Amino acid sequence: MHRISIIQGEHAVVGEPGTVITTLLGSCIAVCLQDSVTRIGGMNHFLLGEPGKDQRVNAHELQRYGLHAMELLINAMMKRGATRNGFRAHLYGGANIVAGLGSIGSSNAAFARRFLETEGIAIGHVDVGGTRARKVEFLPYEGKARSTAVADAPPIAVPVTPRGGELELF
């Protein structure tokens, strides 16, 4: 069995049998997505932005990071030949395990569920919330996913701003 481990801000897409994608989650979310027609599937691992102590950032602002993470996964799958009509998702993470971070885990989970509902993507397994970290394993080709509680907390998630720098053409 071939294993691919991802961390926050990453995603992986697989189109062949016998490969498992894994990640370790705290307050972050992992969406496991499979196109049941082509059997192409992938997983992402993301956190909505977290405002700094003195920053006032509204909920809409934070959601753009989640939207971007979902778009990257979906685009990567479609690039491999997946089609939206067959998408089915499993949803994991969103624990509230770090004191002082409030309910960021719940916000992440609520965002992910709302996104999938808005996009009309069928939702399969859901294991979100609570106070324990999770290990998630996903077999994209087979469409099987599972999460198990783990004692070790993952590294404290830090919002990632994926920017590649701009070209000065305009």
Catalytic residues: 28
Based on the shown chain and the rule CB under 8 A, indicate whether residue 72 belongs to the binding site for other proteins.
yes
Q: What is the DSSP string of the chain?
A: -EEEE--TT-EEEE-SSSEEEEEEESSSEEEEEEETTT--EEEE-B------TT----HHHHHHHHHHHHHHHHHHHHHTT--GGGEEEEEEE----STTSTTHHHHHHHHHHHHHHHTT-EEEEEEE-SSSEEEEEEETTTTEEEEEEESSPPPPP-------------
Residues 88-117 that bind other proteins (CB under 8 A): 115
Based on the shown chain and the rule CB under 8 A, indicate whether residue 20 belongs to the binding site for other proteins.
no
Based on the shown chain and the rule CB under 8 A, indicate whether residue 119 belongs to the binding site for other proteins.
yes
Stretch that binds other proteins, among 3-11, 78-86, 87-95, 145-153 (CB under 8 A): 78-86
Based on the shown chain and the rule CB under 8 A, indicate whether residue 75 belongs to the binding site for other proteins.
yes
Among 1, 53, 100, 170, binds other proteins (CB under 8 A): 170
Stretch that binds other proteins, among 62-70, 96-104, 127-135, 146-154 (CB under 8 A): 62-70
d(CA 112, CA 116): 6
d(CA 130, CA 102): 13
Among 37, 67, 149, 156, binds other proteins (CB under 8 A): 67
CB of 99 to other proteins, least distance (A): 28
CB of 62 to other proteins, least distance (A): 10
Based on the shown chain and the rule CB under 8 A, indicate whether residue 38 belongs to the binding site for other proteins.
no
Q: Pull the structure tokens for residue 67.
A: 């939207």
List phi, psi (to 5°) of 6: -120, 155
| Binding footprint of other proteins on the chain (CB under 8 A) | 60-61, 63-65, 67-68, 70-72, 74-75, 78, 83-84, 115, 118-120, 161-167, 169-170
